Structure 1
Amino acid sequence: MTAPQATKTAARKRPAPKIRENLPAPNTPEGQLFHYTPYEASPWTPFSGRTLTDMIARREIDYVFNGRDNYLTGGQIVALVEAYTVRPFNKAAQHAA
């Protein structure tokens, strides 16, 4: 007698995130308060949309919650980029202090 064969279930594929067109840049006046989804914000950050979604879920970054969805404002995107910007080391300035 042989053991029954295990069956593979089809992996559920998530639908591709919807990204709106003609979004204002986060550093413009109209983009400062515009609400971007994590996938819409990813081109302006050093992170992918999935990574931004995970960072929001772990409460590592500031975000806006409207009761159903998570968003990032243009100001939050600019602050996130500045937080992860590496400044050059100036050896002369350190010795002068």
Structure 2
Amino acid sequence: MARQPKIRENLPAPTSAEGQLFHYTAYEAAPWTPFSGRKIAELIARREIEYVFNGRDNYLTGVQIAALVERYTVKPFTAPPLAIGRR
């Protein structure tokens, strides 16, 4: 049987004032990101994203979660306007 990661209850949202500096585990951060907790843990292990290391565990702050979401957000493409008189 696989071990379930411990997830604390009543966590503040990463975008709230309290959540900006709150320390979330990879599995606690997952609901607010496009990734699973395991994928976030892998990204941290490969040092592909910013994280906080307290000497024993890895965490993400609310600011880092927001930056992660922004980094992987695909924005719609808009073609540049055509210049008048160019052929």
Q: TM-score, normalised by structure 1?
A: 0.81
The one-character-per-residue Cα deviations of 1:33-67 (angstroms, maximum 9, x if unpaired) are 00000000000000000000000000000000000
Q: Which residue of 1 aligns with 2:39?
A: 51
Please report how far the alpha carbon of residue 15 of structure 1 lies from its aligned counterpart in structure 2 after TM superposition: 1.8
Q: Which residue of 1 aligns with 2:13?
A: 25
AA aligned opposite 1:42: A
Structure 2 distance, partners of 1:20, 1:69, is: 15
AA aligned opposite 1:17: P
Structure 2 distance, partners of 1:96, 1:77, is: 38
Q: TM-score, normalised by structure 2?
A: 0.90
Percent pairwise identity:
71
Q: How large is the Cα RMSD of the aligned pairs?
A: 1.3
Structure 2 distance, partners of 1:26, 1:56, is: 18
Higher Rg: 1
Q: Any gaps of 5 or more consecutive residues in structure 1?
A: 1-12
Structure 1 distance, partners of 2:82, 2:19, is: 40
Q: Which residue of 2 aligns with 1:71?
A: 59
Structure 2 distance, partners of 1:68, 1:55, is: 17
Q: Any gaps of 5 or more consecutive residues in structure 2?
A: none
- Runs of 4+ aligned residues of structure 1 deviating over 3 Å after TM superposition are none
Q: Which residue of 1 aligns with 2:4?
A: 16
The one-character-per-residue Cα deviations of 1:7-30 (angstroms, maximum 9, x if unpaired) are xxxxxx442100000000000100
Please report how far the alpha carbon of residue 96 of structure 1 lies from its aligned counterpart in structure 2 after TM superposition: 5.5
Structure 2 distance, partners of 1:47, 1:87, is: 18
* Number of aligned residues: 83
